Amino acid sequence: MLAKVTVSLFFILLVWGNVVSGLGAGLACPDWPLCHGKLIPPLRSDIFMEWMHRNIGLIASIFLLLLSYRRFKSYRGKVKLIPILTVLLLLAQVVLGGRVVLSELPVDLTTIHFAIALIIFSLVFYMAFFSENKGTLRMDSPFFLIALMVFIQSVLGAYVRHSGAGLACPDWPTCLGYWIPPELSGSVLIHFIHRTLGYIIFALALLFFALSFLKDKNIRLKSFIILALVTIQILVGVGIVHSKLFFLTTAFHLAIALTILLVSLYSWFQEVERSNV
């Protein structure tokens, strides 16, 4: 129960943070760790959203510490480093979060902040799945590759958003009326790379689904779910462009990305578990 709640809290935290960013409320609490110098600030809508983001983060952190302590006691050998690393990353994330606010949301720091959050989220899911040692994680799984690609794409998407490149290509499927824009630089280049990587992930998901027919039905089902989610993700990405970055659409876009990441990690971890039975 503790593990499931912790994963859920971090999922909500990431999506809530996306909504805060979409509403332009990232600096609604301009100080840190307080908000407008108070524990409970004036509850204006934008202030409430950012203040709740911090509170969800606090609650999620407490659950993470409890889960990490429990796994530190149950893990053996080098695997004990995972709960230790997760707690250290959490501490770094808290400090960096304060720096992001006080520095008024610099693009590089906000992107790094999001990347660390995704790593923590993945490690939390690892600790939720494995209650004790289950052998070595193999990196030759197609599910690991999908998870890695989704991680990179999500971090790149965060950079696209925070750098203001979300509408650098205001049309779809073309970009500025071209399949390949003549001037690939600046925000157009960043946006175009993000789109291209999305197509590559779709191609990989399609390939893995086709190859899954050579394996058991369980792998085929998981591959199909990932392919379906990636397809929906691309369509939602199109919706983001046409809705001019509507905040609920961008939040849904991240929620799907996190779901793809979870399904990929779950499938990968199951392979590891079966190989060590």
- In order along its 277 residues, the chain shows pLDDT tens digits of 899 999 999 999 999 999 999 898 888 988 888 899 889 898 899 999 999 999 999 999 999 999 999 999 999 888 899 999 999 999 999 998 888 888 877 888 899 999 999 999 999 999 999 988 766 677 788 999 999 999 999 999 999 999 999 999 999 999 999 999 988 899 999 999 999 999 999 999 999 999 988 877 888 999 999 999 999 999 999 999 999 999 999 999 999 999 999 999 999 999 888 776 5
Distance of alpha carbon 95 from alpha carbon 39, whole angstroms: 18
pTM: 0.93
Contacts of 139 (CB under 8 A, 6+ apart): none
Alpha carbon 257 to chain centroid, angstroms: 7
Q: What is the pLDDT of residue 58?
A: 95
Q: What is the pLDDT of residue 7?
A: 97
Nearest to 266 by CA among 147, 117, 155, 166: 147
Q: What is the pLDDT of residue 71?
A: 95
Both structure tokens of 195: 């789109």
Q: What is the pLDDT of residue 73?
A: 92
Distance of alpha carbon 34 from alpha carbon 38, whole angstroms: 5
Contact 238, 95 (CB under 8 A): no
Q: What is the pLDDT of residue 100?
A: 85
Contact 207, 146 (CB under 8 A): no
Q: What is the pLDDT of residue 105?
A: 76
DSSP 153: H
Q: What is the pLDDT of residue 277?
A: 58
Amino acid at 261: L
Q: What is the pLDDT of residue 191?
A: 96
Q: What is the pLDDT of residue 135?
A: 61
Both structure tokens of 222: 């998981």
